[in-house]
Amino acid sequence: TINIASKCKTRPCDVSFALNDGAVYADFRIADKRMQLIRISYDVYGCCKCANRTTLMPADMLLHVVKNKEIEDEAALIELLKRYFAKNKAVLWEDALQEHDLLP
């Protein structure tokens, strides 16, 4: 499952997603219509601060989610995030991604 997470002062970002019933939180920055993961927190593994170490990707779907404050196509968003995580798995603790089923 995926939900838009509440913004938190200790984790500044443009949009945050709670995945797998809150076992994982992924915080993104959006700039120039591109998204970049700045932090991902996993149950058991802890917080991986990855700002400026992950790739930029087009953010059309994330911009739509931020604007409408709802996720219309959960499956498509999860697939997008899984592809993004796979592209950046060396930075994002691949074993944690695998354990939390966040790779395609």
Per-residue pLDDT of 40-73, as tens digits, reads 999 999 999 998 899 998 888 888 888 888 898 9
| Confidence tier at 8 by pLDDT (50, 70, 90) | confident
Cβ atoms of 79 and 95 within 8 Å: the answer is no
Q: 3-state DSSP helix/strand/coil percent for the chain, to nearest 5? A: 30, 30, 40
User: What is the DSSP-derived secondary structure letter of residue 62?
Assistant: H
What's the whole-number mean pLDDT along residues 71-87?
A: 93
